[in-house]
Amino acid sequence: MSTTSNTGSTSASGETTLPWDPVVEELGFPKDPDNLYLQTVMTMLKAAEVIELRHRVKIILAQPKNEIMVHFPVQMDDGHHRLFKGYRVQHNNALGPYKGGIRYHHDVHLDDVKSLALLMTMKCSLVRIPFGGGKGGVKVDARSLSPSELMRVTRRFTAAIANDIGPDHDIPAPDVGTNAQMMAWMADTYQSIAGIGGRANDAMRVVTGKPVEIGGSLGREKATGQGVVDVCKEMLPEIGIPISGMRVSILGFGNVGGWAARIFQDLGAKVVAVMDHTGALRNDEGIDCNALADHVRDTGGIAGFENNETLTGSGTRSGHGATAISDEEFYKTPVDLFVPAALEQMIQEKQSEWLNCKVVAEAANAPTTPPGDRVLASRGIEVIPAILANAGGVTVSYFEWVQNKSNVTWDAEQVDRELNRHMVMAARRTNLARQRYNCDLRTAAYIAALEHIGKVYAVRGIFP
Ligand code: GLU
């Protein structure tokens, strides 16, 4: 339970948080300090305060432009119909079309989707791509559906929001629980029903993260993980951590965590601990991340990897040398870098106390709660914030959209080179803001994003 007053609040853990921003008062948000949307808005407003962002821009950014909620029926394989709930939140389009993923998760709520949409606005602005922020989701456990049920849910959801999305208006992409195949179904459904006549093929631009066969970009699947690594390569050596030989632990071994792990490993880092929803593993010699990725593809999680038998020069080795550990042991494993690549709000005070690392690179969106953040700061642990660390996915989404719009295809080297350029520039922008305002990296990243949006509003003005 949380208690609130006009001047501050007490979170579930009993810690007193910062006073509420006047914008939170003005817009009448319910003051629950554990609410993800309130946490995200407060973080944004803290940075806005530092740069004295105009009041009108603050109130615009504190709420999304549109919140779309739909219910749609889908026939299951056994013949009965089930009603699903879906969301699309369009946070801001001052910089360009709304942009952001579609999440399939049994615990999707409007406030989560609003938070993630706000983060997309910040991310796109920070890396300077001409997109705004949006996010969507369907309340469903994708793992519980058959492939044909998944296809019908995806097509029916696309139909339900077809009037609200569009190749130059709002462009979905994959997120937690969705992948390139689902983007193919979304693009195909939209193209079939959106009725844009002779420009039918152009309608496929309505989503990014598509399979390469239908206009997806090379390098999009690994892009978020690659972006995490690019930012770390730019920032870690400066704080005395060379990538080669560094020890890493990773929370989450899905698309983002799995790719980041393999790319770090290729650069000579040792991934010594991994945890996901099925279990946790440790190997001080370094987990074989390629073998682990194969295991996750085949079984759906990391559990059981420790029992895999492999043939080595000197005989068989169980689990490639990895052993199963507890959650607590996972967090306490000594590493240079900890990479949360799972869901929001997983790094709370307890986990922050447990962590034995020098730097946290947030590969997931909003993995650290504000109280968790304060514990990390008090322990001198540096946090590379999500809007910087995980912006690689949407950056390559932008490249995909540009390739589709201009009917060209880039080779993998061009994608990697351009991605690296965007990530390095965003990291430098963040470092500069930090030096200028003498603040933490999270506030600095928001400042670098908000300054750009503030300038755009200053020249555009506000209608009428
Ligand atoms: N879902 C990813 C994110 O949270 C990618 C979004 C996109 O490519 O539009 O950044």
Q: How far is the CA of 285 from the centre of ligand 1 (A)?
A: 33
Topology annotation, domain 66-211: Rossmann fold (3.40.50)
Q: How far is the CA of 206 from the centre of ligand 1 (A)?
A: 14
- pLDDT tens digits, 79-103: 999 999 999 999 999 999 999 999 9
Task: Please list every protein residue whose CB sits less than 6 Å from any atom of ligand 1.
Answer: 99-101, 173, 175, 208-209, 365, 390, 393-394, 397
Does the annotation count 85 as an active-site position? no
In ligand 1, the atom with minimum distance to the C-alpha of 391 is 10
pLDDT for residue 280: 98
Q: How far is the CA of 283 from the centre of ligand 1 (A)?
A: 31
Q: Where are the alpha helices (DSSP H) in 167-242?
A: 180-193, 223-235
Q: How far is the CA of 117 from the centre of ligand 1 (A)?
A: 10
Per-domain residue ranges for the chain?
5-61, 66-211, 223-389
Query: Which contiguous run of DSSP H or E holds residue 340?
Result: strand 337-340
Closest residue by Cα to atom 8, ligand 1, is: 394
What token pair was written down for 108?
A: 């999707």
In ligand 1, the atom with minimum distance to the C-alpha of 390 is 10
pLDDT for residue 438: 98
Topology annotation, domain 223-389: Rossmann fold (3.40.50)
Pocket-testing residue among 115, 135, 169, 397, ligand 1, by greatest number of atoms within 8 A of Cβ: 397
Nearest residue to 154 via CA among 79, 203, 104: 104
The neighbour count for residue 368, using CB atoms within 10 Å, is: 26
In ligand 1, the atom with minimum distance to the C-alpha of 116 is 4
Q: Among residues 99, 114, 123, 135, which one is catalytic?
A: 135
In the predicted structure, residue 7 carries a pLDDT above the cut 50: no
Average pLDDT over residues 434-440: 98
- pLDDT tens digits, 53-73: 999 999 999 999 999 999 999
Average pLDDT over residues 93-122: 98
* Rounded distance between C-alpha atoms, residue 454 and residue 121, angstroms: 12
- pLDDT tens digits, 140-189: 999 999 999 999 999 999 999 999 999 999 999 999 999 999 999 999 99
Q: How far is the CA of 143 from the centre of ligand 1 (A)?
A: 21
Q: Look up residue 424 and give its DSSP letter.
A: H
In ligand 1, the atom with minimum distance to the C-alpha of 175 is 1
Report helix, strand and coil shares of the chain as percent, to nearest 5.
Answer: 50, 20, 35
pLDDT for residue 320: 74
Domains 66-211 and 223-389 in one fold = yes
- pLDDT tens digits, 305-343: 998 876 555 555 556 789 999 999 999 999 999 999 999
Q: In what order do the strands lie in the sheet with 382-384?
A: 323-325, 279-282, 270-276, 247-251, 337-340, 359-361, 382-384
